[in-house]
Amino acid sequence: MHYGQKVLILDCGSQYTQLIARRVRELGVYCEVEPWDLPLAKVDAFGPVGVLLSGGPQSVYGEGAPRPDPGLAGLGVPVLGICYGMQWMAHALGGAVAPSDRREYGPADFFPEPSCPLFAGLPSPQPIWMSHGDRVEALPPGFVSAGRTDGAPHAAMFDGARGLFAIQFHPEVTHTREGREVLRRFLYDVCGAVGDWDSRSFVEEAVAQLRAAVGGERVLCAVSGGVDSSVMALLLHRAVGDRLELMFIDHGLMRKDEPRQVEDLFARTFHLKLRSVRAGERFFAALSGLEEPEAKRKAVGRTFVEVFEAEARALGRIPFLAQGTIYPDRIESAATSGSSRVIKSHHNVGGLPERMRMTVVEPLRDLFKDEVRQVGRLLGLDEAFVGRHPFPGPGLAVRIVGAVTPSDVALLQEADALFVEEIRAAGLYDAVAQAFAVLLPVRTVGVMGDERTYERVVALRAVATSDFMTADWFRFEPGFLARVASRIVNEVAGVNRVVYDITSKPPGTIEWE
């Protein structure tokens, strides 16, 4: 893709780096994330209107700590250092950083200096979110202090002449009340951004580039019913029309009635060619006897590749393969492998044999999930699909703790469907970011109809989150949970106990496996 104004984010290891990028995109400015050690020549070639340095868990004095090129300060491009990014800037440009005798983790009050363009006219004090053990003790030459907290005498600093700014707190998290405004001021007032990034312009350019790349050839696209693959299919169809071949592999691990919904969406609603493959038996055979989560994920991924390869061969020569890779996938792959082109083993169709000799196209590779949803709306995708809760690639195989059997999948499908049905009936589906049921590998004693039972336990999980990087358990009314539990126990044979998971992320994860 060739976008207008661009911002570059150099990742120093923060868990919030993707969130910084999302906030920048939300403000109408296109951005990309690269590792902190991106050579200065490549930074310059990228042509950013501004550079942001993320936070990170290390100390600038620690062995192996990220140390971006100090030449960033001399490119003539505005730079904003965040948390570790501020400490690196102070250290690299001649200031001093030292361990704080009063570490700040969590909420704090920030007292800004109105002389700094990022803070002029904003409230003082203002609530911010801190996460650091070191602090800037002495400012580099040319910098002035731009604010303080009780634990940090220099919680922000700037050198207006060179366009260099740094803040110790995290403006990207919702806990920092004025964080969005601080980022907006850096992007628009300091960098001179005009805000030319939106989903509509993306659709037009993506369609044009797909047509140029594919020419008159056919494209094969695997769809799962999830948001990413559904949006990708509609975007591809707009670009190549009837030369698009859609394939849906039903691995038997989907939610209740989901295969029929996928077929209705593409074949009946959008009138697209869809090759449906029922492969549940093969997947259950591959999962037989497996209990460890990663082993199950790999088994599902390996079997998917085998089925996909065989079915693709039956379609004849197709030079292009579409994958629903989105930008977070690329960022995560780059963070773990050093390459932004590596796809997770269980994601989309990653790991296809080289002998297939297909050129991969990734039309959504530059988008975050919320941007993918907006593109889906522009392409006419029904809101029921656009707003669907996330679903893991291995399906219910990783929502059944332990071994996976067809009977357990059928049981979990019913319990999960009842839970989601009640959430929709209560008008809470859009308020909940993700909700599902988990089948546990334990049995408990119960009483039903004056008889002793010894049956399975279902755990319910529902979270509220804006970014899925952190999440809190959703506060249902007790009466709602009582109603759901009663329905599951009475309507799902084999279950006599229901529990509700109230673990946040962190320390837990959203999924159980």
- Say if strands 156-159 and 144-148 run parallel, antiparallel, or are unpaired: antiparallel
Token digits of residue 510: 């959203």
Whose tokens are 């601080």? That residue is 182
Instruction: Report the amino acid identity of residue 224.
Output: S
Residue 53 phi, psi dihedral angles, 5° rounding: -105, 125
Instruction: Report the amino acid identity of residue 294.
Output: E
d(CA 24, CA 18): 10
The single residue of 32, 104, 172, 178 carrying the catalytic annotation is 172
Q: Are 170 and 131 in contact (CB under 8 A)?
A: yes
Token digits of residue 313: 């061969």
Residue 158 phi, psi dihedral angles, 5° rounding: -155, 155
* Cis upstream peptide for 507 (omega within 30°): yes
Q: Are 474 and 500 in contact (CB under 8 A)?
A: no
Annotation marks residue 172 as catalytic: yes
3-state helix, strand, coil in the chain (%, to 5): 35, 25, 40
The single residue of 12, 31, 83, 116 carrying the catalytic annotation is 83
The single residue of 154, 170, 237, 251 carrying the catalytic annotation is 170
d(CA 72, CA 87): 15
Token digits of residue 111: 């007292």
Annotation marks residue 175 as catalytic: no
d(CA 356, CA 345): 17
Q: Are 320 and 214 in contact (CB under 8 A)?
A: yes
Annotation marks residue 251 as catalytic: no
Give the residue from 215, 207, 303, 214 showing the smallest Cα distance to 253: 303
Token digits of residue 483: 């109603």
Q: Are 27 and 55 in contact (CB under 8 A)?
A: no
Active site residues: 83, 170, 172
